[in-house]
Amino acid sequence: MSVQTLLMDFSIDPARLGDESGQKAVFSQLETVLKDYVPNLILAAEVAVDGGSLKLLTGKKGTTVSVRLFDRGLVTVNIEYYKEDSEEPLISFKNTKLLEGSVRISLECERVKLLPTIKRGYKFDVYLTSSDERLLEYDIDNVVFDEQSPFQRVQIVHSKSLGNMLVLDDLQNISEADLIYTETLMQRGKENYEGKEIVILGGGDGALLYELLKEKPKFVWMLEIDEVVMSACNKHLRPICGDVLERRKGPNYEIIVEDCMLTINKFIKEGKKVDYIFGDLTDIPISESACGELWEFMITILNSSFKILKPDGKFMTHGNGATSSESLELYEQELAKLKPAVSFSKSRAFVPSFLEDWIFYQISFSANNGA
């Protein structure tokens, strides 16, 4: 059950909406069309507003239709009604296209667009966002885990096309369909991990640890702060993490449940050096400048990580969506400030559960800095 919202807008010659009589004429034409698709529609209220007018109509079973006429030539239409899961939609998908066409013809529109139905108050949250904050709709049909940890809201949802998917604080993280994410992050086939010592910062879903252990490393330390994430993924995301989260230690790995900086600082104090560090923590923040708590955390991680990296080692991390170019540029500007100097390369891959291309970084000490 949910409130179904249909949003339509169209553009016409502004001269037709330039005064009250023109707006009434356009609305009368639109009302005639709407009555063919919304049962028992009647005008309930009219309001004059600055720059145009607002009309409110009601229909069958509490349906409401608001029509906003702007004197600059734009008209918006919002149709809302309550629908039980077992009920047929008030306006079928086929009829939405017919409605769009009827409005275009009857009102001689320059442009008309009717968006697919938005479900509001639905039992599953099917809407997430892209990295640059565009709305994405998923085919989520179940929530299999939902718990607030001391650090974040942890959910495992099921998608018809992606399988189970980890969602943290309403941001998609990884799904059963996302092996490409892990393989691009680790540059599988391009990097040799056999016999190497590796640190994973974060990685609570277990996918990176699971894939790295297939490469026969000498030892891997995974530093994850959220026990709830690991417990949820161990139970509901076995296809991507296997059994590596089942126990905290194995022959060549250890999972340390604490703030990753505690172990990094311990390694710094001991003079420990490793071959690879994976930053599998937060995405690069979306902001106008590289300041704020998240940026400070990310810069601290970078500076500290290179203190425990061997001269020929690499820091591997995910960045952000390819469309978030400003945030990527800010990150690269911060890389340019690191001392000793570093160089980097980038990889790009389409991640199914993100519904977009993602950027990954491979960062190492510059060859000319004598590190």
Residue 202 forms part of a structural domain? yes
CB-based contact 238:166 (threshold 8 Å) = no
Instruction: Residue 195: give the domain boundaries.
Output: 179-365
Residue 51 forms part of a structural domain? yes
Both 185 and 256 in one domain: the answer is yes
Average pLDDT over residues 154-159: 98
pLDDT, one tens digit per residue, over 313-367 is 999 999 999 999 999 999 999 999 999 999 999 999 999 999 999 999 999 999 7
Please give the Cα distance from 79 to 59 (Å, whole number): 10
* SS3 letters across 214-280: CCCCCEEEEEECCHHHHHHHHHHCHHHHCCCCCCCEECCEEEEECCHHHHHHHHHHHCCCEEEEEEE
Q: CA nearest 106: which of 51, 22, 31? A: 31
The single residue listed with the structure tokens 């690069």 is: 284
Both 300 and 351 in one domain: the answer is yes
Q: How many distinct structural domains can be found in the chain?
A: 3
pLDDT, one tens digit per residue, over 102-153 is 999 999 998 999 998 999 988 888 999 999 889 999 999 999 999 999 999 9
CB-based contact 38:91 (threshold 8 Å) = yes
Burial tier of 238 (Cβ tally within 10 Å: 0-12, 13-18, 19+): middle
Residue 29 forms part of a structural domain? yes
CB-based contact 345:360 (threshold 8 Å) = no
Both 131 and 156 in one domain: the answer is yes
Last residue of a domain, one of 119, 134, 162: 119
pLDDT band at residue 370 under the 50/70/90 scheme: very low
Residue 88 forms part of a structural domain? yes
Identity of the residue numbered 235: K
Both 16 and 66 in one domain: the answer is yes
Mean pLDDT across the chain: 94
The single residue listed with the structure tokens 């390369």 is: 345
Structure tokens given for 35: 């009555």
Q: What is the CATH number of the domain that holds 94?
A: 3.30.160.110
Residue 21 forms part of a structural domain? yes
Last residue of a domain, one of 150, 174, 198: 174
Q: What is the CATH number of the domain that holds 141?
A: 2.30.140.10
Q: What is the CATH number of the domain that holds 310?
A: 3.40.50.150
Structure tokens given for 92: 């079928």
Maximum CA pair distance of the chain? 81
Residue 196 forms part of a structural domain? yes
Both 300 and 208 in one domain: the answer is yes
Both 158 and 208 in one domain: the answer is no
Average pLDDT over residues 141-167: 97
Both 67 and 158 in one domain: the answer is no
Instruction: Assess whether 357 carries a catalytic annotation.
Output: no
Both 136 and 198 in one domain: the answer is no
* H or E segment and range at residue 185: helix 179-186
pLDDT band at residue 86 under the 50/70/90 scheme: confident
Please give the Cα distance from 78 to 58 (Å, whole number): 12
Please give the Cα distance from 239 to 342 (Å, whole number): 36
Q: What is the pLDDT of residue 368?
A: 64
Q: What is the pLDDT of residue 256?
A: 97
DSSP reduced 3-state for 122: coil
Cβ burial 344-360 (10 Å sphere, 16+ → b, else e): beebebebbbbbbebbb
The single residue listed with the structure tokens 């702060």 is: 225
Q: What is the pLDDT of residue 40?
A: 92
Q: What is the pLDDT of residue 264?
A: 95
CB-based contact 235:206 (threshold 8 Å) = no
Please give the Cα distance from 316 to 309 (Å, whole number): 11
Both 276 and 344 in one domain: the answer is yes
pLDDT band at residue 371 under the 50/70/90 scheme: very low
Residue 220 forms part of a structural domain? yes
Both 204 and 329 in one domain: the answer is yes
Please give the Cα distance from 145 to 198 (Å, whole number): 30
Q: Which of 178, 205, 275, 280 is catalytic?
A: 280
DSSP reduced 3-state for 20: helix
Last residue of a domain, one of 108, 141, 174: 174
pLDDT, one tens digit per residue, over 66-81 is 999 999 999 999 999 9
pLDDT band at residue 288 under the 50/70/90 scheme: confident
Residues of the chain above pLDDT 90, percent: 86
Structure tokens given for 131: 């990295």
> In sequence order, what are the beta bridge partners of 227?
none
pLDDT, one tens digit per residue, over 210-255 is 999 999 999 999 999 999 999 999 999 999 999 999 988 999 999 9
Both 63 and 207 in one domain: the answer is no
CB-based contact 81:62 (threshold 8 Å) = yes
Interhelix angle for 293-305 vs 325-337, to 10°?
A: 40
The single residue listed with the structure tokens 């509001």 is: 120
Residue 104 forms part of a structural domain? yes
Both 141 and 187 in one domain: the answer is no
